[in-house]
């Protein structure tokens, strides 16, 4: 039997197209990554499985490493949302630092090293030999380092620098009230309903719970830190439509 172009086309449709449909039916075609980390025989989650796509909340869930510890140790804004802040977002907050000719970036591997020291779970890093001063101080203050570790890390610190003023923890140069006022003003100017926006952020912009129910048809969930997009999708609504309605209200305020 001769194979012609048409046969090849049919083979592609059948094997690739049909295969995908069949695999989908059998639950073997998920394009979403399984994010739960591997577990050792002792039931401990493996540190090297911390990924850039993990949120602080997921880190807390899997590793029992409180999100608040990461926020404080890394010097993130106190209102950082653990539910939406991903480990890889750190790269957009801190400037790369050059030490001994090597460029150091506070990123996923830094969190792995921090988690390893904090939880006393083994992890050998091939990238992170220096930690920021704030991380080392936090670990020492919370008695998380052995004497040997303390000696090493105290000699391997650097001062972290933020990429933009937006990321500054608070307001070293401003009074607390000025800082809050500025923050609110900035947020009001810049707030945009993205796929990462939480319900709380929306409420903070002045959308009342009644207005929320009027537009979505559903009460505000008890957990206001959940992502608006997830909430909308869960209720079977079109995010785009709901987003437009909210945006319209915010614009007309």
Q: Is 138 helix (H, G, I), strand (E, B) or coil?
A: helix
Residue 103 CB contacts under 8 Å (≥ 6 apart), including other chains: 96, 97
* Positions that interact with other proteins (CB under 8 A): 1-6, 8-9, 11-12, 15-16, 19-20, 23, 28-34, 38, 48, 51, 193-197, 229, 238-240, 243
Q: Which is nearer to other proteins, 195 or 217 (CB)?
A: 195
Q: Which is nearer to other proteins, 182 or 194 (CB)?
A: 194
Q: How far is the CB of 216 from other proteins (least distance, A)?
A: 16
Q: Which is nearer to other proteins, 34 or 147 (CB)?
A: 34
Q: How far is the CB of 171 from other proteins (least distance, A)?
A: 28
Q: How far is the CB of 166 from other proteins (least distance, A)?
A: 17
List Cα–Cα distances, 127 to 95, 123, 226, 251, in angstroms: 17, 12, 33, 46
Instruction: Tell me how far apart the alpha carbons of residues 106 and 128 are, in angstroms, rounded to a whole number.
Output: 9
Q: Which is nearer to other proteins, 34 or 100 (CB)?
A: 34
Q: How far is the CB of 205 from other proteins (least distance, A)?
A: 15
Instruction: Tell me how far apart the alpha carbons of residues 203 and 172 are, in angstroms, rounded to a whole number.
Output: 28
Instruction: Tell me how far apart the alpha carbons of residues 17 and 23 are, in angstroms, rounded to a whole number.
Output: 10
């Amino acid at each position: 039997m001769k194979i012609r172009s048409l046969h090849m086309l049919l083979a592609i449709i059948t094997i690739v197209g049909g295969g995908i449909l069949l695999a989908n039916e059998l639950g073997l075609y998920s394009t979403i990554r399984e994010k739960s980390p591997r577990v050792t025989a002792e039931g401990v989650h493996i540190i090297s499985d911390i990924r850039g796509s993990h949120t602080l909340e997921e880190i807390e869930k899997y590793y029992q490493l409180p999100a608040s510890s990461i926020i404080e140790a890394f010097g993130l804004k106190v209102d950082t949302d653990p539910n939406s802040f991903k480990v890889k977002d750190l790269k957009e907050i801190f400037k790369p630092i050059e030490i001994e000719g090597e460029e150091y970036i506070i990123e996923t591997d830094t969190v792995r090293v921090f988690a390893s020291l904090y939880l006393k779970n083994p992890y050998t890093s091939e990238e992170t030999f220096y930690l920021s001063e704030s991380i080392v101080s936090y670990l020492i203050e919370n008695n998380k380092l052995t004497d040997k570790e303390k000696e090493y890390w105290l000699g391997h610190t650097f001062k972290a620098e933020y990429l933009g003023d937006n990321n500054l923890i608070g307001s070293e140069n401003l009074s607390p009230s000025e800082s809050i006022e500025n923050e609110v003003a900035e947020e009001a100017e810049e707030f945009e309903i993205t796929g990462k926006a939480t319900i709380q952020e929306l409420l903070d912009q002045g959308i009342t719970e009644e207005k929320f129910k009027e537009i979505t048809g559903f009460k505000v969930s008890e957990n206001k830190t959940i992502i608006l997009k997830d909430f909308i999708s869960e209720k079977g609504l079109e995010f785009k439509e709901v987003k437009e309605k909210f945006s319209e209200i915010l614009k007309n305020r």
